[in-house]
Structure formats: structure tokens, C-alpha cells
Structure 1
Amino acid sequence: MSERFAHLNKLRNTSLSRGNKAERTDEKTDARSKTRRRRKPEAAQNEILDAAEAFLREHPFREMTVEDVMSRTGLSRPSFYEYFRDRHHLVIKLVERFGSSTYALAEQWLSGQGDPLNDLQEGAERLVAMYAEQGYLLRALADAASHDGEVEQAYRATINRLIEAAAARIRAGIEKGMVKNIDPSEVAAALVLMNERYLMERLWNQPKADPRAVADTIVAVWRRVLYAA
């Protein structure tokens, strides 16, 4: 009889233990769910974008999967599709974010509010620093653009935005007599596209050039084209 009671107590304790574990698991699940519900959409989207950037720092774009990205976040895999159609759409958003960052770095010169030569120097140094630091991301974006029409279109749109802004700045400089009488649109296109290629070649490939020398070279070319007598 005592053995039977001991056996029943053991079963009861095992059941209680499992119940407690289940409750703790449910509590953890509820806590994670509450955390996810509290996260704002913009914050969740940025978390996914940051995770994608982190992955691309270590791996090429062709190896990236949704699982790889979401495993680096505190979000569930299905959450990915609340913000992105697929990994190509994710890369398009990365391109747009990169474009906004690039524009912000050059905005001081583009706005025409300060001294043009000083603003040009500061803008070039910031741009070079970003290319040197985020070369892994830019290489991944270029790789994705070569395989996906939508990504390429987004990348081209980013470059065209910079060209249009530079053309407007050059045009304003011509009107003020500060810039030589040149074709604003064509000169802006030549300078921006030259910068893009030059930065890729000198800061991504080995041996990498000195960022300071790269920035000074860009400034020298722009000054000679725009401001030299």
C-alpha cells in the first residue's frame, strides 16, 4: 500500500512540475508577445533593416534569407512580411535608407547656405568616411541591383536625386556669379557618377586608398570644375 501511495505522489509531483513548466513557458511566450505588440511599426522595421545590415557585413547578398535576418531580431519570422514583400524589397528599403544618409551628408553644400568651398570639403570628408565604413553594404546593394530590376531602379533613383540636387546647386552658383558658366545638369551627372565609381574603386578594393587623400582629390576635382577661373 505504501508503495502505491509513493507511486501516486510521484505521478502527482511530476504532473505539478510539468504544469509549472508549462505555466512558465506560457508566461515567457506572453511576455514576448507583449513586447512585440508594444514595438512601434517604425521601430520594428528599423530593427529588421539593422539585422539585414549586420548580416551583409559578414555575408554576400546572395546568401541572405528571411530566416537569417529574423534570427538576428527579437521578432517572429512572420513579422517580416508585415513590412517587406521579400528580401529584394528589404534591400530596396536599405537602398532608400542609404540614399537618405548620403543626401544628408551632402546637404550642407547642396543647400547653398554656407561657404561653398568649406561645405564642399566637409561634405566630401563625411561621404568618404561613410563609404569607407559601409563598403560592405554598398557592395551588397550593387550586387543586388545587378540581379534585380526593382533594386537597380531604386539605386538609380538615389543617384539621380543627388544629380538633380547638385545641378540645382550649380545652377544657383552660376546665377550668383560664383560658378563658371557650364551646363548644370551634365556637369552634375559627370561629377556624381565619377564620385560613385571612384569611391567604390579606391575604398573597396585592396589596397585601399587613404580616405583623407580620397576626400581631398574629390574636392580638388569639384573645385577645378566649378570654381576655378
Structure 2
Amino acid sequence: MTYIENVFVCIAAPLLLTAWCMGKGYLRFFLFCFAGMGTCLLAAYLNTFFAMVYHANAFSATAEIAPVVEEIFKLLPVLFYLVVFEPRPDDIRNAVLTVAAGFATFENICYLIRNGAENFGFLLVRGFSTGAMHIVCGAMIGWGLMYVWRQPWLKAAGTCALLGAAITFHGIYNLLVAYGGVARYIACALPLITLFLGMGTGKWFAAVSKKNKNIEET
């Protein structure tokens, strides 16, 4: 049996002390990191609960229940941040990505505790692919929220649409991993390729936008 709440305390304790030592300037980062790990802990309990309620096997729980529960829980602290503090667009993006990174980190640690750390090659691939999957889902929501929350009429519908896109991507990844075989290798490559393409496209758009702005100014 894995006592993940004990694992959470052991990981959070040194980070909490570090946040206290580094001061208010870094407090937001650590809070969202804690939020990501905390939502991972709560999502694990909810995944188990719904799997028992619906009598789902491991495949169904992984492909159908986990993506919905985990993406909703990752979004909740960000929504609280948006409603209460009304942050700047860049702060929204950073908050979502930090929550996603905290979630992925805690999930990988729990996986290591349950399954051991003998197979370095597999764990290396899984660590990067799972992390990239959560980051891609976070990026979808983060960059989308930067736009939809500027439009009052689009907040609710846009947030639901972004959540649906993240759940779909997460579900495809989990489905391929659970199916096994060649599909598992595709699953490992999918989020990494998506992440690199997204970063490249973002940099290209930023460069084009900067170039057009310079032309307009001249």
C-alpha cells in the first residue's frame, strides 16, 4: 500500500521551508507547485472512488475516468486564482504550467514508489512523456485562458472548451499507454512532439508579431 499523503508531506516540507527562506517574491511559484501536488493527491482518491462506484477495470479507469478527474482538479486552483486575484495574462500562463508541473512531479514520484526504480530507460521515457503530457494540457488551458478571460461573454464557454480539449488529449495519451505494444511508444512520443511543435510555433508567431510591430513603428 502506498501512503501518498505521507509522501506528499515529505516532499512539501522542504519546499515549504525553502519558500519561507526565499521570501514573498517566490511565494506564488511554490504555492502553485503545492497546488499541483495537492490536486494530484486528491485526484488519486477520486479516481479510486469513481472506479469503485462504476465498477471500472484498470483500462477503463485509466482511459475514461482519470483524464476527466485530473484535468478538472488541475484547473480548480487556477480558476480560484483568476476569480479572486484577476491576474495578468502572463501570470495566468505561468500559474497553469506550474500547477501542471507540480502535478506531474508528484505523480511520477508515486509511480516510482509503487513500481520501483530499476528500469532506468523506461522510467526516463515515462518521466519525460508524462511530464510533457501534463505540460501540454496545461499549456492548452493556460494560453487559452489568456484570451477567453479578456472577453466576459466567452469566459464560461471558453473555459469549458479548453478543459474539454485538455481532457481529450489526456484521454488519448492514457488510452494509448493502457493499450500497450506499439501504441505505448506512440503515446510516449505524442506529447513530446506536440510540446516541441507548440514551442516552435509560439516562437515563430512571437517573432512575426515583433517584426510587424517594428514595421508599423517605422
TM-score by length of 2: 0.44
Higher relative contact order, chain-length normalized (CA < 8 Å, sep 6+): 2
TM-score by length of 1: 0.42
The structure with more radius of gyration: 1
